[in-house]
């Protein structure tokens, strides 16, 4: 998948057709020695000969070269997993060189290029300097622009637009983000209504199971988005303890009612972490420690379970079919080893200054960062 296979392909195709090197040389008007050098990778035919070779074997030039401009969904996932593991175990410089080589090789495979941008956004902080972090983020912005300007798939372009905005936000370009997203974020727009219309269309066509499966997905994502928005709301109202406590109470109800701690431990962990920050910033030490404990439980589940990112249950019993259609399927956006490496940073937040010296806080930090066992 990384290198062209012209030499092997010429040999294989010639053997399949049961012709000699001399037969092929005669057809092309070259010497037998030239064919021999091609097959031994000692030289390559010029462009006009490549066209003749492709015509002779009745295949495309891409197929002759062994070049795959488009990757399958499974190939994209395998690359993402491999590169994510590389980030967790190798110096980031070598990984970024590998990513750039792949991006250049598959520059017209827009779904793959989009996932390379996602990969950069999830791992840019591993670069040693701010300059290098900005460099790869800028590269991802350019790739998103390339996708938006050239891809004919509306869904991929829409994802690239949102991803470009997220990357620009990391780069501090908030005004550009507003200009890009504000027009499509108007509450009165019809965008976002397509799910209900599509579900009804499935019903009309008698595709009842498909309608049920799709509405389950919509319900699930609506719940995830609701909880995510309320986590963001807590960060905006961090100094308004009364409002935040009402939000915490409501989100806890949603998590409990729909079993989201098991379905999406990453989301639950974010919620409990933000709750701990709110309580810590407002001097509520006991509640902060309780929220940190819930955060630890969710992260342990995230690190230990096989399906820690997205999966169904007895209520969302048709969800799994849609998961496989996601660009990364069940694949976590970051390798678990990398998640564990970054855990200590979470506990350095100034909100925890008032509880850092307590034995309970030290115990919880130890459980996650040192592999200790919980007594809970």
Q: SS3 letters for the chain?
A: CCCCCHHHHHHHHHHHCCCCHHHHHHHHCCCHHHHHHHHCCCCCCCHHHHHHHHHHHCCCHHHHHCCCCCCCHHHHHHHHHHHHHHHHHCCHHHHHHHHHHHHHHCCCCHHHHHHHHHHHHHHHHHCCCHHHHHHHHHHHHHHHHHHHHHCCCHHHHHHHHHHHHHHHHHCCCHHHHHHHHHHHHCCCCCCCCHHHHHHHHHHHCCCHHHHHHHHHHHHHHHHHHHHHHHHHHHHHCCCCHHHHHHHHHHHHHHHHHHCHHHHCHHHHHHHHHHHHHHHHHCCCHHHHHHHHHHHHHHHHHHHHCCCCCCCCCCCCCCCHHHHCCCCCCCCCCCCHHHHHHCHHHHCCCHHHCCCCCCHHHHHHHHHHHCCCCCCC
Question: pTM to 2 decimals?
Answer: 0.74
CATH T-level fold of 6-65: 434 Repressor (Amino-terminal Domain) (1.10.260)
Q: In sequence order, what are the residues at sequence separation of 6 or more whose Cβ sits closer than 8 angstroms to the Cβ of residue 160?
A: 110, 114, 117, 144, 147, 148, 151
Give the Cα separation of 27 and 211 in Å (integer): 58
Return the pLDDT at 307. 46
Residues of the chain with pLDDT under 70: 1-4, 68, 91-93, 187-192, 305-310, 328-341, 371-376
Return the pLDDT at 309. 55
């Amino acid at each position: 998948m990384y290198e062209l296979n012209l030499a092997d392909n010429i040999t294989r195709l010639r053997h399949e057709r049961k012709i000699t090197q001399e037969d092929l040389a005669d057809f092309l008007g070259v010497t037998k020695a030239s064919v021999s050098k091609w097959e031994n990778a000692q030289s390559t035919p010029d462009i006009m000969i490549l066209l003749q070779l492709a015509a002779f074997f009745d295949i495309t030039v891409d197929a002759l070269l062994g070049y795959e401009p488009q990757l399958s969904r499974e190939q994209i996932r395998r690359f993402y997993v491999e590169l994510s593991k590389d980030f967790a175990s190798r110096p980031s410089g070598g990984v970024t060189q590998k990513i750039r080589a792949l991006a250049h090789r598959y520059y017209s495979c827009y779904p793959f290029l989009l996932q390379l941008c996602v990969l950069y956004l999830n791992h840019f902080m591993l670069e040693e300097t701010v300059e290098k972090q900005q460099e790869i983020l800028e590269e991802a912005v350019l790739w998103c622009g390339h996708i938006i300007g050239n891809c004919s798939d509306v869904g991929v372009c829409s994802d690239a637009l949102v991803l470009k905005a997220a990357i620009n936000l990391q780069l501090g370009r908030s005004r550009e983000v507003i200009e890009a997203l504000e027009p499509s974020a108007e509450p009165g727009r019809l965008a976002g209504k397509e799910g209900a219309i599509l579900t009804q269309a499935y019903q009309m066509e008698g595709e009842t199971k498909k309608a049920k499966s799709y509405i389950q997905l919509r319900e699930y994502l609506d719940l995830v988005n609701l909880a995510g928005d309320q986590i963001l709301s807590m960060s905006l109202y961090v100094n308004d303890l009364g409002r935040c406590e009402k939000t915490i109470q409501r989100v806890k109800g949603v998590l409990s009612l729909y079993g989201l701690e098991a379905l999406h431990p990453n989301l639950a962990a974010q919620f409990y972490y933000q709750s701990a920050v709110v309580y810590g910033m407002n001097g509520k030490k006991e509640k902060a420690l309780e929220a940190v404990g819930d955060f630890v439980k969710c992260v342990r589940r995230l690190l230990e379970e096989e399906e820690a990112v997205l999966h169904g249950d007895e209520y969302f019993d048709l969800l799994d079919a849609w998961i496989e259609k996601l660009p990364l399927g069940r694949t976590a956006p970051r390798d678990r080893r990398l998640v564990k490496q970054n855990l200590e940073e979470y506990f350095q937040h100034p909100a925890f200054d008032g509880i850092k010296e307590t034995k309970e806080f030290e115990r919880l930090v130890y459980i996650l960062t040192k592999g200790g066992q919980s007594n809970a």
